Amino acid sequence: MKQLTCLTIVACASLALSLTAFGGPEPMPSGKEMKQVAPAPPPECDFTWTGFYFGGNAGYGWGNGDTHFQPLPDAVTFFSLEPTTLNSDPSGFIGGGQAGYNWQWNKWLVLGIETDFQGTDIEGHKTRGPIIDITGAPNAPDSFLRASERMQWFGSTRGRIGIAPICRLLIYGTGGVAYGNVDYAADTDFDNGTTYTTKFSETNVGWTAGGGIEWMLTHHWTLKAEYLHYDLGSTSRTNPQLLDDVRTGTIFFVRNHFDTSGDMVRGGFNFKF
């Protein structure tokens, strides 16, 4: 009996030593441990489009520079000139700046107003010869019609309405008043000393409309891409007959009617306050 007791004591001691060596059994949870707290979700959008801004842009424009040659008092009486239209196909680079203000409502609706001013190199020329009379027959081989159009500067003041489908992206439409200074020229030369010519500059007012996208890089800087169609209307000049650059006083005239419209695409940046 004593031998059995001693064996039991030795076994218990060995078990205790084993538990001590291996760290012992896992403690039972008490229910008082701290629960892990999930991090708060990020804000839905930490940016607003509301505020003043200004920036710069550059791009490319191309236009419809139709120039109409109308013989007066009428085509039959004039005879030597068939009514003709030349398109000078003006095109070129543009660059300038813009400034405006946006208001953002209900997280996604953005209204604004913007004004811009561009220097332009939108220019085109067209020459056709010889001049054709109303029967379809050509005049002198070196006779010609020539038209040119060049826009020196362009500006607009437009409203903008857009949506922000995601936090930092704005998609918008825009439209308003446009204005620009344009150089016009037209020549009707019969290669016998008889000419009808005009050359002048005029500031025209019309309209523009288009759309674009804008992306917020930081809380202050944005990038944008935009398309605009513009129409600055038309203007006309009636030119008397010249013989060796001296007015003849005849009843014959050539009326030139110039159309000025076109399209432009431009990219740019804004700094938002």
The identity of residue 263, as a single letter, is: D
Q: Is the pLDDT of residue 26 over 50?
A: no
Which neighbouring-strand residues pair with 259? Answer: 234
Q: What three-state secondary structure class fits 15?
A: helix
Q: What three-state secondary structure class fits 20?
A: helix
Q: For the whole prediction, is pTM greater than 0.85?
A: no
pLDDT-derived band of residue 16, with 50, 70 and 90 as boundaries? very low
Q: Is the pLDDT of residue 78 over 90?
A: yes
The average confidence (pLDDT) of the chain is: 88
| Overall average pLDDT of the 174-186 stretch | 98
Q: What pLDDT does residue 71 have?
A: 98
Residue 137 · residue 80 · CB < 8 Å:
no
Structure tokens that stand for 211 in this block: 């759309």
Among 13-17, 69-73, 76-80, 198-202, the least confident range: 13-17
Structure tokens that stand for 47 in this block: 């940016």
Structure tokens that stand for 69 in this block: 């040659």
- Our measurement of the distance from residue 269's CA atom to the centroid of its chain's CA atoms, rounded to an integer in Å, reads 12
Residue 218, CA atoms < 13 Å, CB-side half-sphere:
7
Q: How many residues does the chain have?
A: 273
Q: What three-state secondary structure class fits 135?
A: coil
